[in-house]
């Protein structure tokens, strides 16, 4: 089993102004975030605009990304897709390239939503890869909620060893933890509380613009420095609340660019935030910026 404890940064995908993937900036971003101390990078994450990337682009991002990471931190690849054969194909490719884990959404958009159907979905994937599977609970996007009872059943699969919980419901989150599985927090606004409750780490989109602070926050909690963690969290929270309650990916990308990470561009159908949005974002970032890097 891969050790995914710590901050697994849900890596933005850098785009040029014309919407093409900027692979050189991708390499540079990987180095920047590893230098900041992250324990893992999620390639092709939701924050990386996975739904708007072609399969061939993902393959290239994973190939370059895993090579650039070169064992310096965990490499997690999202291999989600609507077409089941594509999920298998993407998963096998990422596994062969050397991914430490795969993050896979349940079969959203009119796929099976009952527990037996979801279990069978992950069971078939589990039988065809030899690397850890991270289930992905984000019901606000998929319309599917992984129940704590289903999570217990999924943990019986050979490779299903983690769940990323982005729902933001701390009650369900703690029920996952009570079941004995390894939970990764995915809701920006609950991070410090999830870590204190026992989550082994986070898969974190907001870390794109606050990598040093995110790593420091995890370190404070892991070493029992809760007062320091909460003081740092007070500075981070306005920005985390802002991205969670506005256009998430455009805000994260804009904030990251403001702090020297990435190109600041998004791919259609997403739109960059306007000047009013940027002004509001800077207000939310101010407490974080006042603390420096």
Of residues 81 and 290, more confidently modeled: 81
pLDDT for the residue numbered 180: 83
Between CA 113 and CA 119 the distance in angstroms is 10
pLDDT digit string (tens) for 136-150?
Answer: 999 998 988 999 999
DSSP 200-256: -EEEESGGGT-HHHHHHHHHHHHTT-HHHHHHHHHHHHHHHHHHHHS-HHHHHHHHH
Other beta carbons within 10 Å of 186: 30
pLDDT for the residue numbered 289: 85
pTM: 0.95
What is the β-pairing status of strands 132-137 and 6-10?
unpaired
Decide if 241 is inside a domain: no
Nearest to 193 by CA among 213, 215, 216, 174: 174
Structure tokens of 200? 């082994």
pLDDT tops 50 at residue 293: no
pLDDT digit string (tens) for 92-136?
Answer: 999 999 999 999 999 987 778 899 999 999 999 999 999 999 999
Decide if 17 is inside a domain: yes
Structure tokens of 291? 């603390």
Mean predicted lDDT score pLDDT of the chain: 95
Q: Which residue has the tokens 């682009």?
A: 57
Assess contact for 1 and 132: CB atoms under 8 A. Answer: yes
Between CA 168 and CA 189 the distance in angstroms is 8
pLDDT for the residue numbered 179: 87
Rounded to an integer, the average pLDDT of 194-206 is 98
Decide if 52 is inside a domain: yes
**Dihedral pair phi/psi, residue 41, rounded to 5°:** -130, 135
Predicted confidence band at 157 (pLDDT cuts at 50, 70, 90)? very high
Predicted confidence band at 291 (pLDDT cuts at 50, 70, 90)? low
The number of distinct structural domains making up the chain is 1
Decide if 71 is inside a domain: yes
Predicted confidence band at 181 (pLDDT cuts at 50, 70, 90)? confident
Structure tokens of 151? 């999570």
CATH number at residue 147: 3.20.20.70
What is the β-pairing status of strands 6-10 and 40-43?
parallel
pLDDT for the residue numbered 216: 98
Decide if 214 is inside a domain: yes
- 149 burial (CB, 10 Å; 0-12 / 13-18 / 19+) is exposed
pLDDT for the residue numbered 273: 97
pLDDT tops 80 at residue 292: no
pLDDT for the residue numbered 1: 86
Nearest to 123 by CA among 164, 165, 160: 160
Assess contact for 167 and 138: CB atoms under 8 A. Answer: yes
Which residues constitute the domain of residue 101?
6-225
Between CA 14 and CA 32 the distance in angstroms is 13
Residue 21 DSSP class: B
Between CA 213 and CA 231 the distance in angstroms is 11
Distances, alpha carbon 234 to alpha carbons 9, 217, 240, in Å:
20, 11, 10
């Amino acid at each position: 089993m891969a050790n995914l404890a710590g901050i697994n940064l849900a890596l933005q995908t850098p785009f040029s102004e014309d919407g093409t993937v900027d692979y050189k900036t991708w390499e540079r971003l990987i180095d920047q975030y590893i230098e900041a101390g992250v324990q893992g990078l999620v390639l092709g994450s939701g924050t990386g605009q996975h739904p708007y990337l072609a399969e061939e682009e993902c393959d290239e991002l994973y190939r370059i990304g895993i090579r650039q990471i070169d064992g310096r931190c965990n490499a997690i690849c999202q291999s989600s897709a609507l077409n089941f054969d594509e999920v298998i194909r993407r998963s096998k490719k990422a596994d062969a390239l050397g991914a430490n884990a795969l993050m896979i959404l349940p079969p959203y958009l009119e796929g099976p939503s009952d527990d037996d159907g979801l279990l069978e979905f992950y069971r078939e994937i589990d039988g065809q890869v030899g690397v850890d599977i991270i289930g992905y609970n984000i019901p606000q996007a998929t319309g599917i909620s992984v129940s704590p009872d289903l999570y217990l059943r999924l943990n019986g699969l050979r490779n299903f060893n983690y769940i990323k919980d982005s729902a933001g419901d701390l009650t369900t989150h703690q029920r996952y933890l009570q079941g004995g599985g390894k939970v990764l927090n995915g809701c920006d606004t609950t991070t410090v509380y999830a870590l204190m409750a026992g989550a082994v780490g986070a898969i974190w989109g907001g870390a794109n613009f606050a990598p040093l602070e995110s790593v420091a926050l995890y370190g404070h909690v892991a070493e029992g420095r809760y007062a320091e963690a909460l003081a740092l969290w007070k500075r981070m929270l306005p920005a985390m609340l802002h991205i969670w309650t506005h256009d998430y990916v455009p805000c994260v990308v804009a904030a990251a660019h403001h702090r020297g990470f990435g190109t600041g561009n998004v791919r259609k159908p997403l739109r960059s935030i306007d000047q009013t949005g940027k002004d509001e974002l800077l207000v939310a970032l101010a407490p974080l910026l006042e603390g420096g890097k």
